[in-house]
Structure 1
Amino acid sequence: MNGRRQFDTDELAQLARQVCEQAQGPEQIEVCVSTGRSTSVRAYNGDVESLRSGHSAAIGVRVVTEGRQGFASAGSLDDDVVADTLAAARRNVMFGEPDPHQGLAEPDDVAPPGLDLSDPAVLSVSDADKIAAAIDLERRCLSADPRISGVRVAAWSDGWSQSALASSTGICVQSEHGSCSVGAQPLATDGDETQIGYAGDAAWRPDELDVDRVITESTSLATGQLGATKPPSERVTVVLAPPVAAAFIGVVASVLAADSVLKGRSPFADRVGEQIADERLHLIDDPTDPTTLGAANFDGEGLAARRNALISAGVLRGFLHNAYTARRSDTASTGSAVRGTRSLPGVGTHAPVVATGDIASGDLYASVGDGVLVRGVSGLHSGVNPTSGDFSVGAWGHRISGGELAEPFREATIASTLQRMLLGIGGIGATAERLAGGMSMPPLVVADIALSGV
């Protein structure tokens, strides 16, 4: 086979099965193969700054023999490369530490959601249309507000991928899908001061991209920070804007993954069945929702994707598992294996969702009285201690005074712990904002957060 040829998903599945059929004796083999194509366009000063496109192919082979695991990968599907990759994975087994829980996923008879994610609309967009979209995005940002002095980034990107996974335990699945995205980073200027905003969106289809939101959000973030100053240090109630709330919920979800728990990197280990959050919080991982880019029919080990409740009415319902963590924890996989073709499966969310609450959009700031709206954070992942739950991250946004949005602030930090933050949720917005990739998130009101500025 030639690695440069275009495979369809049936051919990829056949290739993966052929490698798996070479299992010898007690050996287990898992093969993940994929091909893809992508395009990116950036506009600057009303013209094309860059246009890049490419094709890729990849294979990852995992071999498990009597509790020892070996893995190898390559960036080609040529026959000799495939054979060499299998041989390398077999050699690597001898370097693996024996682990009685190590092994491939076994079919569990859970039916996949049967989502049709192979909409070819993204393939019909011509390069000329992609260029026009990027240039128009820049133009519209520049005309959105007289204070917008330039646009650092105005970009379009898209991709299409096909993949298959097979194992000697009887799993064989395949998928095909594409997506596209736009992003803008405008500059706002007032005298000698310049501020930067950013927003983006991604979707399965070009007509699902919310370009209006990208323009409005990116330019308002830039202009909204003009004149911002450091706030006084105090303990305040904060409103986490939907993108910020989503980022924090993503961190919470990451420490509810069983691999984090088993490594001692979760403050919620041994707390299943306990109240870990305000009773208004309901958090699920739902890859069965076809409107999000996290939607999937199968997880990274070929098991059916499924809806998993993590927190219900503030109570921790359980952790996310792949096959390995499930064996170590004497439970079943939750279909939460995540991986790339050239990496081993880990554990993670596909599409985390927080249920909306009862605070209407128009009443959000009034419900707080005095506090701050956090519109953006920096250093979130490096600023969180996954073992203790402590966090301290950079933040910017607006003061809330007398129930109204007031002056902007910047160069501040917010600090607390994940545990106190979850229990301190004092309200959840009744309306969820659609974020990049189709994920929806309501704003969260959290009490007693340390705000540090001057």
Structure 2
Amino acid sequence: MSVTPDLLTEHLLDAARRAGADAADAMAIAGQSLAIDVRAGQLEQAERAEGVDIGLRVLVGQRQASVSASDISASTITALAERAVAMAREAPEDPYIGLASDDLLAKDWDIAALDLCEDAPEPEPAALQEAARAAEAAAQAVAGVTQVQSASAVYDRRQIALATSAGFAGGYTLTDHGLSCVAIAGQGAGMERDHDGDGRVYHADLRSPEEIGRLAGERAVERLGARKPPTGAYPVLFDERVARSLIGHLLGAANGASVARGASWLRDRLGEQVLPEGMDIVEDPHRPRVMGSRPFDAEGLPTRRRSLVENGVLTGWILDLANARKLGLEPTANAKRGVGSPPSPGSWNIALTQGTKSRDELLRDMGTGLLVTSMIGSTINPNTGDYSRGVSGFWVENGEISHAINEGTIAGSLPEFLRRMTPANDARTHLSHVVPSLLVEGLTLAGA
């Protein structure tokens, strides 16, 4: 690529000024990706993509507009800026929009300390194909597996640059290696499916294809003979694979956009107990070698480590500039954006306090109940937190797994059961969201 992302953002800002914008910010992303799918031991699909995407947000007074393109020619950049300014002049006024002032902007950062990019050549397609083939073979070798639906290996590298007319300019490069496998066990109407996968910044950190394939196969076989669960109130243990969704719902309710709209069951609970005592949710965008780490947010503010929940008490919101202004608060450097959209709040890496017991120990403690390993659908009332989801997993009798369960539904009040959950100690610490298995007493379960 002859023009780098940082130069592209400069060109976009220059074009915005010439077009009559009062202020602007620009983003450019240059990426390369490679994806290999294997089926029945043979190459099924291979895709390689390269491209550059550019985005420009312009402000004219208190009006704004965002535009994007994948053509980086000078004529396109000029036309893009002119179109954006014309759109902004027709947009409604918003008293809360605006770029960050100089005193809020990130001034320096150590991108090397975050270790977000592997300094190595792009992997050969043959190497990705062999990894996918090995995962498929390991899954197929599990007794009871009838077919492997997919085995895929992927690689992605992105250079990201952000600049604003207020004087901020910064960028970083991300790499992402991934491997996944989906296995099917059984025949006809009794077929069951499950999967496993891994994604890392560095290829050397990936779990082996053999382990990923084997686990996908074993999980599929374990689901054979599934039945509907009984109806009643039972303890439910959310496996580590799905437990993060519970914390995700909490983070969604703490999102400044939801709070500012009044569409959040947390809106009046700042400073109140939302988790059991002794439990924290810590946001840390500076964890090295983790995909969710960032040196600055999408508005150029320096990211930092902080507690969202401390000793069970909600201590703050997830805010970008505009929603912080709406709420009369300071921004928390949580702005995210794509090339074609304005900033909006979102969380970075988070970690929930882990417990002292293993998942198996919590199973023994629960006695009779449900172990949830997958969920489908979602009905959550954003104002009340009323919760209902379809689930599958395993029925537990006297602290031991009895048989597989599917076509179940769990329901309850999210604000209530979050305050009485018990964490295990099995969270995977390399993930962006580090959340262990979670035991919740007294959820309503519906099945047969």
Return the offset for 1:417.
2.2
Alignment of 1:151 with 2:148, yes or no, is yes
Report the RMSD for the aligned CA atoms in angstroms: 2.1
> Which amino acid is the alignment partner of residue 407 of structure 1?
H
Partner of 2:53: 58
Q: Secondary structure at 1:185's aligned position in 2?
A: strand
Contact conserved, 2:16 with 2:85, CA < 8 A, in 1?
Answer: no
Task: Look up the SS of the partner of 2:285 in the other structure.
Answer: coil
Counterpart in 2 of 1:93? Answer: 88
Distance 1:388 1:137, change over 3 A: same
1:230 maps onto 2:224 in alignment: no
The answer (yes or no) to whether the contact 2:226–2:405 under 8 Å persists in 1 is yes
2:161 aligned partner: 164
2:90 is equivalent to residue 102 of structure 1: no
Gaps of at least 5 residues in structure 2 are none
Q: Deviation of residue 118 (structure 1)?
A: 5.0
Instruction: Give 1:387 deviation, angstroms.
Output: 2.2
| Shift of residue 296, structure 1, vs aligned partner | 1.1
- Aligned position for 2:370: 372
Equivalent of residue 36 in structure 1, options 17, 31, 34: 31
Q: Residue 220 of structure 1: CA displacement?
A: 2.8
Separation in 2 of the partners of 1:428 and 1:389? 21
Q: 1:438 to 1:65 in 2, by over 3 A?
A: closer
Residue 408 of structure 1: how far off its partner (Å)? 1.2
Residues 272-300 of structure 1, C-alpha deviations (whole Å, 9 max, x = no match): 10112211431122211123211111212
Q: Which moved more, 1:217-226 or 1:49-58?
A: 217-226
Q: How does 1:188-337 map to 2 (within 5 A)?
A: 188-189=185-186, 193-211=190-208, 213-337=211-335
What is aligned with 1:443? Answer: 437
Counterpart of 1:45 in structure 2 is 40
- CA distance in 2 between partners of 1:431 and 1:59 (Å): 41
- Separation (CA, whole Å) in 2 of partners of 1:102 and 1:192: 54
**Structure 1 residues 288 and 432: CA distance shift in structure 2, 3 A:** same
Percent identity among equivalent residues?
Answer: 25
1:157 Cα deviation after fit: 1.2
CA contact (8 A) 2:240 2:426 kept: no
Superimposed CA distance per residue, residues 41-84 of structure 1 (whole angstroms, 9 cap, x where no aligned partner): 10001010000111121111111122111221111211111111
TM-score by length of structure 2 reads 0.93
3-state SS in 1 of match to 2:111: coil
- 2:361 counterpart of 1:363: yes
Give the 3 Å change call, closer, same or farther, for CA 346–270 of structure 1 in structure 2.
Answer: same
Contact 2:177 2:202 in 1 (8 A): yes
**Which of 369, 384, 398 is residue 380 of structure 2 equivalent to?**
384
CA offsets per residue over residues 160-215 of structure 1, 9 Å max, x none? Answer: 11121111111111111111111111011168621101222111111111235533
Contact 1:230 / 1:412 at 8 angstroms: preserved in 2?
A: yes
Distance 2:73 2:135 in 1: 41
Q: TM-score, normalised by structure 1?
A: 0.92
Quick check: 1:399–1:409 contact (8 Å CA) kept in 2? yes
Residues 122 and 158 of structure 1 are in contact (CA less than 8 Å); yes or no, is this contact kept in structure 2? Answer: no
Secondary structure of the residue that 2:254 maps to in structure 1? Answer: coil
Q: Could you tell me which amino acid in structure 1 is paired with residue 130 of structure 2?
A: A
> Per-residue CA shift, 1:141-175, capped at 9, x if unaligned?
111x1111111010011111112111111111111
1:360 Cα offset (Å): 3.2
Structure 1: distance between partners of 2:307 and 2:12: 33
Q: Judge conservation of contact 1:291–1:438 (CA < 8 Å) in 2.
A: no
For 1:367 and 1:406, locate their aligned partners in 2 and report how far apart those are by CA, in whole Å.
15
Q: Do the aligned residues in 2 keep the contact of 1:122 with 1:206 (CA within 8 Å)?
A: no
Number of aligned pairs? 444
Change (3 A) 1:140 1:28: same
* AA in 1 matched with 2:270: V
The CA distance in 1 between the partners of 2:358 and 2:107, in whole Å, is 38
The aligned counterpart of 2:393 is: 397
| Counterpart contact for 2:135–2:211, Cα < 8 Å | no
Q: Find the aligned partners of 1:264 and 1:193 in 2 and give their Cα distance.
A: 45
Letter in 2 for 1:386: P
Q: What are the Cα deviations for residues 73-128 of structure 1, in whole angstroms up to 9, with x where unaligned?
A: 11121111111111111011122211221112234155665232453356331111
Please identify, of 216-225 and 266-275, the stretch whose mean Cα deviation from structure 2 is larger: 216-225
Q: Secondary structure at the match of 2:380?
A: coil
Q: Which residue of 2 aligns with 1:419?
A: 415
**Cα distance in 2, alignment partners of residues 357 and 112 from structure 1:** 37
- For the residues of structure 1 that align with 2:18 and 2:212, how far apart are their CA atoms? 50
Q: Deviations over 1:370-419 (max 9, x none)?
A: 22111110113xx2222221121110111121122221111001111220
Aligned equivalents of 1:142, 1:235: Cα separation in 2: 38
Aligned to 1:341, which of 333, 339, 342? 339
Mind listing any 5+ residue stretches in structure 1 that lack a counterpart?
none
Q: Deviations over 1:222-278 (max 9, x none)?
A: 111101100110111111111211122112211111001112221000211011221
Q: Distance in 2 between matches of 1:37 and 1:385?
A: 40
Amino acid at match of 2:396: I
Contact 2:6 2:28 survives alignment (8 Å): no
Amino acid at match of 1:105: A
Relative to 1, partners in 2 of residues 1:224 and 1:89: Cα closer, same or farther, differing over 3 Å? same
